[in-house]
Structure 1
């Protein structure tokens, strides 16, 4: 299978990975055989498919291997031989990037089995999570799969089994994505391969240009963005950092990735701009890259996907799950950190409120469905005078998504009592489970309890060296001393206008506002432990708001 430069150049988070793990009769590929393979496929940061099979080694499984893996002779005696299952393995791998923990071990067995059966060995790009762990977590006493799994608090099922270990390795790789991108400037598969292969120790500085060395000494430890420039003064690379000093010096280390070495080789000078926090550094980086299009910023960074509950704006609205938001007139609640949390919230809404769940095509047929029969829908498809009642139900949904649970709980408790009296205990138990979810306040997994397009909040961010404040008024973000927009309205002025009722943010929304909101919310949900949301409707003036800050008391 021929390697593709196209594969190597794509963002590593968008690549397709095949994580595989062999169980074997021993540790040496020259003398031992494979008895099981487990594989997972990762696409866009998620496990989307799996494959596993026992493999007949043509010899007994040693007793000590059975003790470790639980795999017995009876498990493999009727299993296919390696050459009989290799076509399935090869098809599952496809053009993906191979991944294993201690890749050398698994590749040696794959190579040996192919050689002994006269099969063509795959030649895909390959990543070793053990090598990555040594680079990313040098302080960990052990980089074994078991220890890395414990470090990330990953649930590891079926230890020492092919699919169990492959799944655990997949989750480890996915957990590494943010660190690789944010702390090591990894953008592409080529960067990732270069990073894992670079020398680990001892790292030393490698600065041949005096101007660059002088510029590096001036870099402060504050958050901000930095610019590498060539001899003509053109910006060739823009990066952001929580600590400029730590991030920038990584480019000059002898064990830096290939891309960093190319940047340093092409650069003649180095400049920087500090920001109040990593959040505004991230926003500044994205906008400056779009503006300057630097040579080495070939790809804009991808941000983790967030999820929302969308309440549509049609005559009879319905709740939907959305993986993105727009300024389109719909109400978006969120973001939620993962699909499971937003799915559970949507299920609660479906079971606790009488809203339609049909799409427009079904709704237009004007035929009632079973949901009306079980009192899960008011039936706007056939009821002519139902709009007011339906709107009241929608208002209850808005209240629920804003954190007001009692109405939903009371309704479900009454329904549970009614089902119990009819001896429909299984259905009553399902309602009980929904009530328990509500009482556990699952909706708190959402960052905001107001729709994004209508939210008026001040976000207080605990940061070093000083705290950050971001004002969100109906989709528009305001900052303090944001160098990208030195003439923009400051937070203090925007807050004053808000409390005086004179601000008109909705009329000024732009594509830039949308992009800022997407990037900002992605950062906030990742760093939710550092933030406090203040809802402006709970205050009458700036001074009252400032008195309720939790990270610092007083004024902005």
Structure 2
């Protein structure tokens, strides 16, 4: 019978001592395990007909008073046999529990146990030879199993059930066990026959792992049919992939199942960790591997929209970017965050919040009375100073004006002093979000359509994307960002020759053509890349590696600035 369908009953007994016949059972606990899940339990205190020694009470918490008047073994054992049925009987150090159970069965006039039996202690000795102790306490501690009631029969039985699931998973992975018969036979193997690895693990460890480079890239794990079941990225392919195939028993269940299914590992070097990050996201969405739970779908990320097409601009948020003359800032993490930022800006700055039909009425509205708008619709100072207010908002949205942080902090303190704690808590939360938003936008420092820059990342020495003579010295990878989107990638040696410099100049001229119009829209894959690039720039805030481009700048000076940043970012020869 397959392991997923086989019923196991894991049993544990508490006794008055260690000698079956002389000593008696005082508690029986059992758990029925099917498909890796405990589906039923059994627990009975048993009157042994004698007192419980003090040392047993100290160990188990079971006293003579607790078992006095409880059912005897003659009454309990028939119920236990009904619970056991034809399941595989399991215990940790099975001979101990089996001896006591057989004595109790004999007292009840019943035959001894006849079920197939499995000892998790024997399995642990064969599968976990590197562990110094195979006792239940040490194993539960090693695997992080939470024991509810140690040295009580049911608590230990349930803990042993969790241990059995772990051991069976390892048997599946390392020895290809598929049926209950495979597991029962394994516990009787000679120790020298339990040290071998399954053929697919051995092949991966001996043939694949030694060839993995100590450089960034993406890796593909494939099953026996050649299908990609997992895609990952790594700063060091060697270290990351190797981690899956060492100490398998310590992995979580999902990873152990992945290792069991993998038959081949391939990879592709990317030169930098950032390139690996971007490629991983695309590959997961293209292949939809069964073991990748995250990043399987593109999400809608909100942007802040400053509508500068109107004489008196307004601020809102939108899930899409359009080439409509407005300024877009972001992306932000989620819709709620965008709504909160818009609300915060409305409290801090005096931009109008009404729509155009209301504005065209030309009279002050409720927002002006609340102090949230200068009423430019009515003319006067509100209209004259509106342009300055828009510039303040623009400086805030690009992370250049931190005055807003002081304003929010002061509002929080005033609310707290007035014992308006709900308002103070709102300002506190906004302060935290504001600091994160400012940090994100400060690295971009422009609206999306005006975000034009070259991001410089050092290449891992030995990267085969460079010409052979330049691989040892290393170089840099240039990420060309135009209108907020990743427009291209260029690998540049540490000491570029005339040909490489000319190619770079051509790539920069094509990408940063002042006449190049912004795209009509940004699709989900574009926004996903923008989000990752913005996060990367925030986490690696080295301004020397962000070379910004201006439409009115000198192309030669821009090329020189990129080459200077490349020389500064490339690893020194001794580091390579």
TM-score by length of 2: 0.46
* Bigger radius of gyration among the two: 2
